[in-house]
Amino acid sequence: MDPAAGSGTLWAGLRRRSANGEGGRGTRRVRVRCRRGPPGCRAPGTMEPAEAEFLAEKELVTIVPNFSLDRIHLIGGDLGPFNPGLPVEVPVWLAINLKQRQKCRLIPPEWMDVEKLEEIRDQERKEDTFTPMPSPYYMELTKLLLNYASDNIPKADEIRTLVKDTWDTRIAKLRLSADSFVKQQEAHAKLDNLTLMEINTIGTFLTQALDHMYKLRTNLQPGESAQSQDF
């Protein structure tokens, strides 16, 4: 295989993707805020799963390329150089792009291992609080890497199951915490070690519940004051 083959196409593809703002480290997160919007409008500060996945694509992973290419300069930073057989770190979006074009082999993150994930799952089940996750985008990265590079990840099906078990355990804890928060009518709460996707999973429900509680209390206040005056 010619080492330089496809380099021009690769560079053109990177330029197009960078120009579109994809994968750049300087990309700003866009929030859609709404007040009393139509049904289905998102709660303030929440994000769609695709937006969280977009942020996860900027995480670095290691690949082993099968082509040669000099260092490339993008808005988000320099990448490369790429040499056949030599590992190099690239953003997830680029690793997926190269993998789809059969131009690299992906090396899974250290935490994407059956034994380590079993320990994480068991620890999460034992603790009442949320334990630290190996990556702030563990769920998104698992989905992306297993969907596009499962042939490079040993025991991919077991890894998928273990991550899903851990996710289900944490979401169950989060729902219990939210239920307790609403019932006790607390003004604020602090939860450590939550990921962006987990926060957004419960965010819409929690903000809507608090909004309804506020409206109920506001509607009851005039009646309460009138009863006290009559008495």
Q: What is the structure's pLDDT at 73? A: 93
Distance CA 217, CA 211 (A): 10
pTM: 0.73
Structure tokens at 205: 């429900």
Q: Contact, 106 vs 61, CB < 8 A? A: yes
Neighbouring residues of 146: CB distance < 8 A, sequence distance ≥ 6: 153, 156, 159, 160
Q: Tell me the C-alpha to C-alpha distance, in Å, between residue 31 and each of 34, 47, 50, 51, 119.
A: 10, 7, 13, 10, 35
- Please count the other Cβ atoms lying within 10 Å of the Cβ belonging to residue 203: 18
Q: Strand runs (DSSP E) across the chain, as ranges?
A: 60-65, 72-74, 77-79, 88-91, 104-107
Beta-bridge mates of residue 104: 65
Between the CA of residue 203 and those of 135, 168, 169, 206, 220, what are the distances in Å? Answer: 20, 16, 17, 5, 26
User: What was the pLDDT predicted at 47?
Assistant: 75
Beta partners for residue 64, in sequence order: 105
pLDDT tens track, the chain, 231 positions: 444 444 444 544 454 444 444 444 333 333 333 333 344 445 445 678 889 899 999 999 999 999 999 999 999 899 999 999 999 999 999 999 999 999 999 999 999 999 999 999 999 999 999 999 999 999 999 999 999 999 999 999 999 999 999 999 999 998 888 777 777 776 676 778 999 999 888 777 777 777 777 787 787 665 544 444 443
Give the Cα separation of 79 and 93 in Å (integer): 13
